[in-house]
Amino acid sequence: MNQIKQMVMGIVIGGGMILPGVSGGVLAVIFGIYERLLDAIGHFFTNVRKNLSFLVPLIIGLIIGILLFGKVLYFVFDQYPIEACFAFMGLILGGVPALIKEMEKKGDKKLNMPAFLISFIISIVLFVLGNGILNINFSSNLDNGGMAFALLFLTGVIFAAGKVIPGISSSFMLMLIGMYQFLLNILNNPFSLSKNEYLQLIPFILGIIIGTIFLIRFIEYLLQKHYSKTYSIIIGFVIGSLAVIYPGFSFDYHGYVGFTLFIISFLIAYKLTLTGQKNHKLE
């Protein structure tokens, strides 16, 4: 795959993944690099040179996306939230048809509807719970010795799940358990944390590392043994995640422009994913 194209994908993924409700995993799936990304991270030392050639431009793009494009996206989402949300919805949905087509070539020739519906419903339930019905707050127990260690470790695992599982947003999940402010504090003050806050990073980082390794190996196993069912679950999470982004439709200027951007971004994403599939065949 062209390294410049990988970097561009990384920029889009990096910019999108820092926004609440947008999953970097979804964008990786839509761009057709999700499986390759799992393999490169999960089996990095089996072919270091090949994996580096794939990961380096992607990581550079991620950093650029987070530092630069992410700020632009925050501005756009703040000033034009309806238009921006519809554009992202089009980007996500535009890759689904090509994703299903690719899945049917490798799997059981069809979308597994029970698996799709279960993950779709889980996404909707998480969205509903995140709107105030569920009241969980891990942060209120961070001074409670062993309990704090366990909760911080679990927070790391949940954070990793949001990065590895498409359709699950890390920021959204951390909001759900009352730990989003904890993450923001780390990101905003990385060099001015207290001694206790630095100690809290240990179980959090351990959770991220162990969670990432376990989840990558688990998803790889599922893809090897139950390809169509696993991708049906992923597609369910991808489509279900749109509930978090959907801004509602209004019959005014913003609504019409948003719908137009939805169509345009849908067509662009659809074209990009089809091109990605063709390039993959040539590699």
pLDDT tens, residue by residue, 211-262: 999 999 999 898 888 888 888 888 888 888 788 778 888 889 899 999 999 9
Specify the higher pLDDT residue, 37 or 241. 37
Instruction: Give the domain extent around 261.
Output: 3-282
Range with the lowest mean pLDDT among 22-26, 78-82, 208-212?
22-26
- DSSP letter assigned to residue 177: T
Say how far apart CA 203 and CA 147 lie, in whole Å.
11
182: Cβ contacts below 8 Å, ≥ 6 apart: 138, 139, 142, 155, 174, 200
Instruction: Please state the domain count of the chain.
Output: 1
Q: CA distances (Å), 152 to each of 129, 137, 143, 196, 277, in order?
A: 21, 12, 11, 13, 40
Its pTM surpasses 0.75: no
Q: Could you please report the per-residue DSSP string of 237-278?
A: HHHHTHHHH-----SSHHHHHHHHHHHHHHHHHHHHHHHHHH
Q: In the chain, what are the helix, strand and coil shares in percent, each to the nearest 5?
A: 80, 0, 20
Using a 10 angstrom Cβ sphere, with 0-12 exposed, 13-18 middle and 19 or more buried, the burial of residue 4 is: exposed
